[in-house]
Structure 1
Amino acid sequence: MAPGLSASPSVMVMLLSLLDLAAAGKLLVVPVDGSHWLSMREVVDMLQQKGHEVVVVAPEVSLHIKPSKNFVMKMYSVPYTKEEMEKDFKLFLHTSFEEGSFIERFLKVYEVMKKLGNMSAVSCDHLLQNKELIRYLEESNFDAVFTDPVVPCGVILAEHLSLPSVYFLRGIPCGLDFEATQCPNPPSYVPRAFSQLTDRMTFLQRVKNLLFDTQNLFLCDFAFDPFSKLASEFLQREVTVLDLLRKGSVWLFRLDFVLDYPRPLMPNIIPIGGVNCAHKELPQVDNILFLICAVMDFFIQEG
């Protein structure tokens, strides 16, 4: 089990020591809208304050991604309106907190996520087909890509630009994060989504937890097949999202073992619990932000 942040002060000191050694570089940020961006934005602002040049690529229609003096904003057009986007997000939030049986909740969430997934795929397609913007990215000599891989458009760009990538995420549907990082994922220990189980289960609960894995067969198909097709067409070779995710250099997981059940982690996974949507006035959060910036400094310098 990877130790939490408070259990590894030596790692913190080592990473923070890189702050003074790293030279300012150029960072490409490909965010995901909503709470994903609200969590990432403070890190992006901090990187700019440390002297890095930050370029954020985002669609013209978004809920929270707005231009800022702290970064260069490159926008591209999409064929949907903000009203349509808000409607689908509100439906998703309402459906996620509805009560009912697993089957009822799963089918409702499936339909809403399918709509949001299609919207994300359409947005990514318009980005990859924007030849002027892609040419700008190719000529900009970035040092690294900072992205949330739950929508793997930034992952595709990192492969196209041959850049190291740092992932900033809460998790990926259907357990693709476990598979991409080769993390142990035993159903006797790691509770599945929607199962309402804990990390301590009876035999029958373990059987139930195993059965919940069947949902992944459906989730992965509709969530990531469109991106695999986009990536194969854009990169001009057959590739899957899983293939691309495996190339991530560092995974910054917004896990907090006060709220999340412990899970086995690999060495390139760093838990950064506390960085969620807004800055909290807690010393540990400041330490986590410095840790994230130290990691980003390292990869910008090495890139």
Structure 2
Amino acid sequence: MAPGLRASPPVVLLLLSLLGLAAAGKLLVVPVDGSHWLSMREVLDILRQRGHKVVVVAPEVSMHIKPSKNFVMKMFSVPYSKEDLEKDFKAFFHVSFEEGTFFERFFNVLEGIKRITNFGVSSCEQLLQNKELIRYLEESKFDAVLTDPFVPCGVILAEHLSLPSVYFLRGIPCGLDFEATQCPKPPSYVPRIFTDLTDRMTFLQRVKNLLFDIPSVFLCDFAFEPYSKLASEFLQREVTVQDLLRKGSVWLLRLDFVLDYPRPLMPNIIPIGGVNCAHKELPQVAVPFGFEMLLN
């Protein structure tokens, strides 16, 4: 990665502040719950301080998305409870970190993604069928949509409202972000998830990396086909999630090359790994003897 391509949090805010062409803009935000929201919320708070109007559309049932004085919250009902949501999310994270073979871990994650996808699809369906809320969004004359395409409901809304979209994400399952942006991902250079490989591989390791990438094709269909069907019904034409993702104006990728392997990026993809860091001072406490080496 060439020097200067990694964007710091101030650069992220500067990019988003240009939405209204140096004037206060109006931003529609369709977030994803969980840690996805925790990173986005801080950016929204500062955008509001800089004079932009922020409208957040979110389900009534969520783990972390709460109303704030810094933005307008538009909520819609969903057919599940918070207890159901938290239960399946905890189960998903538990199986994601279990030990086992690649295929055991893959199928465990696949089952977890199926459960999480059901919540996302159900929530998105309720939003798109809420005629009163959709009418409000149509009449509000937003400048752009800020969304996390991990759950592509905001991507569908951006297409319906004919608005430029800014993606704020850590990644998309099965490498759909590579496909949508036409980023090359050669198996001899970019390690696949769960392989424990580095970006320096022998020939046999490259073969292994290629084989591990094959299940991603099935994972994509499994995870995003329900959204493609939902988008086609709502937009009244045949589309896929990949078709809609290709229309993203800016991809703000929440990764850092200190923690992630190098990968090719397109010009409209900007690494912003710093936004994941909490801006807090370390507590001034005495460290017991023998623990100093753990902190160095």
- Same fold at TM > 0.5: yes
**1:218-297 mapped onto 2 (5 Å cutoff):** 218-276=218-276, 278-279=278-279
Match of 2:65 in 1: 65
In 2, Cα distance between equivalents of 1:226 and 1:7: 34
Over the matched positions of the two proteins, sequence identity in percent amounts to 83
Instruction: Answer yes or no: is the 8 Å Cα contact 1:61–1:80 preserved in 2.
Output: yes
1:157 aligned residue: 157
1:136 aligned to 2:126?
no
Q: What are the within-5 Å matches in structure 2 for residues 49-88 of structure 1?
A: 49-88=49-88
Deviation of the 1:47 alpha carbon: 0.6
Structure 1 residue 206: Cα displacement: 0.3
Structure 1 stretches of at least 4 aligned residues deviating more than 2 Å after TM superposition = 1-8, 14-21, 277-282
Choose 1 or 2 for highest CA Rg: 2
Distance between the aligned counterparts of 1:67 and 1:17, measured in 2? 22
Contact 1:38 1:278 in 2 (8 A): no
Deviation at 1:237, TM superposition (A): 0.3
Which residue identity lines up with residue 79 of structure 2 in the other structure?
P
- Residues 18, 242 of structure 1: CA spacing in aligned structure 2 closer, same or farther, 3 A cutoff? closer
Shift of 1:63: 0.2
d(CA) in 1 for partners of 2:27, 2:146: 7
Aligned partners of 2:20 and 2:26 also within 8 Å: no
Closer/same/farther in 2, CA of residues 42 and 216 from structure 1, 3 Å limit? same
Q: Distance in 2 between matches of 1:276 and 1:152?
A: 21
Q: TM-score, normalised by structure 1?
A: 0.87
SS in 1 for 2:51: coil
**Which amino acid letter does the alignment assign opposite residue 34 of structure 2?**
G
Structure 2 distance, partners of 1:31, 1:20, is 20
> Partners in 1 of 2:33 and 2:273 — Cα distance?
20
Query: Structure 1 residues 280, 227: CA separation in 2 closer, same or farther (over 3 Å shift)?
Result: farther
1:209-220, aligned counterparts within 5 Å? 209-220=209-220
Q: CA offsets per residue over residues 59-90 of structure 1, 9 Å max, x none?
A: 00000000000000000000000000000110
Alpha-carbon displacement from aligned partner over 1:140-178 (angstroms, at most 9, x marks no partner): 000000000010000000000000000000000111000
Give the aligned partner of residue 42 of structure 1. 42
Bigger fraction of residues in helix = 1
Which one has more relative contact order, counting CA pairs under 8 Å at least 6 apart? 1
Aligned-partner Cα distance in 1 for 2:234–2:279: 37
CA contact (8 A) 1:147 1:168 kept: yes
Which residue does 2:291 correspond to in 1?
Answer: none
Give the Å deviation of 1:96. 1.1
Deviation at 1:17, TM superposition (A): 10
| Matched letter for residue 150 of structure 2 | V
8 Å CA contact 2:30–2:148 kept in 1: the answer is yes
Q: Which runs of 5+ in 1 are unaligned?
A: 283-303
Q: Tell me the alpha carbon deviations over residues 95-120 of structure 1, each in whole angstroms, 9 at most, x when there is no partner.
A: 11111111111111110110001110
Aligned residues: 279
Structure 2 unmatched runs, 5+: 283-296
Computed over aligned residues only, the root mean square deviation of the Cα atoms, in angstroms, reads 2.3
Q: How far apart, in 2, do the equivalents of 1:17 and 1:52 lie? A: 8
TM-score (norm 2): 0.89
* 1:113 counterpart residue number: 113
